Structure 1
Amino acid sequence: MTYFQRLVVNTLAFISLSVIFPSMFYVGNFMIAVIASFVLSILNLFIRPILHILSLPITILTFGLFSFVINGFMLIMTSNIVGKTEFAFSSFWSAIFISLVLSFVNSIVSNYHASKY
């Protein structure tokens, strides 16, 4: 899946998840979702590898489940950069849940895209 396709999938997932779970997750409008997808991709490019290296022992102890905590933390950082009034989570646990659903959606779309070719 190309970078642009991943941005589109994340944008649509952000909007969909904010409609499905309005008490957990809020996105102000479509443009905020696009900006948040871009910010998340930049954070995943630069910050996420550092966090994975630093948390490698606990990730091994939890058999990789700690990566969902890192993904939730990345979404919280995205919320702080974009602005909590336009892109917000009700709690850290809701960010982890949204990151879990977002990972699931991305894996389904990636697998569908890979099987298509």
Structure 2
Amino acid sequence: MTSSPAVPAVLAVTTTTDSREAALALARGAVEARLAACAQVTGPVTSVYHWQGAVETAEEWRVDLKTTTARYPALEAHLLAAHGYDVPELLAVPVAAGSAAYLEWLENEVRPV
């Protein structure tokens, strides 16, 4: 029996913001700081949520970032500092599996220089 290589502790992190420009700035800032290996911006999407006692509907852009669990605290701090929302959505979901080459690339990209 052969052992498979260990899957690094990788997270898919999601946030949303109110404009394409703000989403691109969050994505670029995180990648430039090596807190995320890559980020995708999609939108607009329609969000429905409770805020300050009312149900709101807003057009938002979604940012999906890939990082490691070791880099997540720094990524979270960066996103919170750079985000325009009072209470931004920040969700991190563990990645169960992925191609070995991609996961190795991801880990290398978020290593502090």
TM-score (norm 1): 0.33
Structure with greater strand share of residues: 2
Greater relative contact order (CA < 8 Å, ≥ 6 in sequence):
2
Structure having the higher Rg? 2
